[in-house]
Structure 1
Amino acid sequence: MEPYTIKNLPELLSFYLGNSKSIKKFEVSRLTAPGENFGSVMLKVDILLTNNKTGGEEMLYAVAKMLPESELFRKIFKVQETFLNEMAFYEIIVPTLHDFQRRVGVTNVLDCFSECLATRKNLLGGSCIIDDDAVLIFENLMADGFINIDRFEGFDLDTTQLILRDMALFHAVPLALRMKKPEVFRNYIEPYCSRFREGQDIMDPMIRASEAVLKENKAVASWAYKVNESFYKPRCASREPFVTLIHTDLWTNNTMQKFVDRKPVANKFIDFQGFYYGSPASDLLFFLWSSVPKEVLELHFDDLIKYYYDHFIKAVNDHSFIDSRLNFQNFMREIEIEFEYEFGHALVYCLTVVSSKAGSRNMNELGTPEDYLKRITLKEKENAWFIVRDSERRGWLKK
């Protein structure tokens, strides 16, 4: 597929640029290494713009998200569904949430998403088929100082709290919308929420590798079977009153942060290919276990849950909705229920996705359990063993 190109870029960006600016030239290059993003190809797009009135020039730094190069991963990630849904997220869902916030008097609307400049399904005209010309164009957050932290290190306490504040608001706004304007939620949110789950052919080797890691430690070996059972357990129907919009894949690679004097000051969530409506406890557990190191969780796990909840309930109330059922005791019950599904999800990702280095995967083949086991470090094993021991201590693990 190299050299990389984006067909008809001036036409694609015409609405965003309007009549005042035009594209003089642009350069496209790979943004991330092969193996960093399995569900898409991410391209860096540097665009030189001309002001049509003054003749002056300026740079527009953008990112393009395109289909995976491999047909295998196009099938695995169900691109005909996930790309359409992600386009709808930025074109329909985000404006719907912002409109709701403004109508209830909130002036500082959700700002934890990158700006989407343009989308295209194909060049066929009037068709909803996703093909090789499908693309989403975003602002390049790196040009504004945002970075992805090292997923092998995870987030420190301050950065974790920053992300949890945004996560709480992201969950609270659709929940308040659903309760106050159920018809709006049904018409503008729910139609684009389809449960994405990787196929068994790609996940089974990851699950077997994760089970093997647990069996290495006698203290947790008896729970190895629970990984497979949890990962494939059919989810029960979403429960009132906590049902809301959830990301389903919130981990280090799908968040970006800006730092000033080494302090985290802003956060963005990215990659909305698999969003769904469900329990906020699902996102919370997966994020904490997949992205926050054991050293932080050992000291602050309970505090971080309470920190998230306090910001969540405040945000719900700020959007003119109060429901006594949304109390902390019920939220902890929600966490215990979601644990049954997120335990396997988080362990598999911790051990086989977070640990996977860029370029370490053949993008045209599925990995084997042995492939994954060779890449898992002692630190990652210890993180997984901690999750099991801590969950057992809390009484969440049940035979």
Structure 2
Amino acid sequence: MNEAFRLLFDQVKSGVVWVERNGTVRYANKAAVQMTPVMLGQAMLDPVAARTVKAAGQDMLSLPFQFELTTQEATPDTIRAVVIGAPVGKDLMVVLNNVSEERWYSHALENLVGYIEAEMAHPIEALAQKLPQIAQLVQQPDSTGELAQLVAEAHTLSGKLGKLRDLVSVFGQSAIQRDERILLPELVRSAIAEVLPQAQARNVTLATPGLDDRLPSVYGSAHWLGKAVAEYLEQAIRSAQPGGLVELSVQASGTRVMVRARNRGMFVSNHERRSAFVPFGVGDSAKPAEPRRGIGLALSQRILEQHGGSVRIEDDFESVDFVLEIPAGAPASQDAQLSVEQAQRYARDMSQLMARAMQKRVHPQP
């Protein structure tokens, strides 16, 4: 297979499977592997896909030919597949798109209703019932404990309402316009302090063995990036087993900085991986068996996209990594007139990044 095609297909969101006319798989990109089981040198393992490709290879179908598959999971997604001719030669290609994932916008309102009902209805009702007591409580000198509980409940409700507000804000136009110089370790430490109560409630330990202060700066909105990191850490905590350990590290790689939260001893299915990025698909419940509806990684993802970054979930045999990636060096937007001090800082940051990149070329990692 042409290397140029391989590089191209590795970048696309759709699943791409390149097959010979006899049905043998020659190539499958990462997106395809997450949607349907495939092995190089064999026919497609999904029986519907294998039969369809075989029929297309024998010229029994008119191309392009569309059909549907389902993922092999407890909660299967629907995959729309289409068989087409390969760009070169006589081979075939199967292009896959997750219809369930594409339809999440249409489910957003239904999920929002469920989120409000599951996550907010009880706190709102409980708080409303206790509000009449405030006038009496403030008159009593020994009411500190009850007032503290009331403040805690109000704070929880305010946090949930704030997330809805933030999600609406970042999906609007021009929500983020700042080019502030941000020291990421400080931002991460601040986010850790914010999510520590959630970690303590689930008895989850946040370890920071790889928090390096000698990192290049990133640029953008400290306010919004702080929210992105906090929501990202909340998702890592929600996904951890009660009593588990989340190892947090921040490292520079070329011209980008990566924040990695590693959960050992857990597994995330493809369905759970996709649901994490759907608004209101997850929540704060400490019981994994209960339906969970919350903001998920949608807020972090949108904020990072507006900073030129990304959020993803990677899994290994023994752990699952929640990875947040942010460009370092000069800011993405150069519209604002830079001061001399800012320009000097940008130059220093870019020099550090170039030096780091050159060092890796001279001394490549084994």
Give the TM-score category using the shorter length.
under 0.3
Q: Tell me the TM-score normalized by structure 2.
A: 0.27
Work out which of the two has the higher radius of gyration on C-alpha atoms and give 1 or 2.
Answer: 2
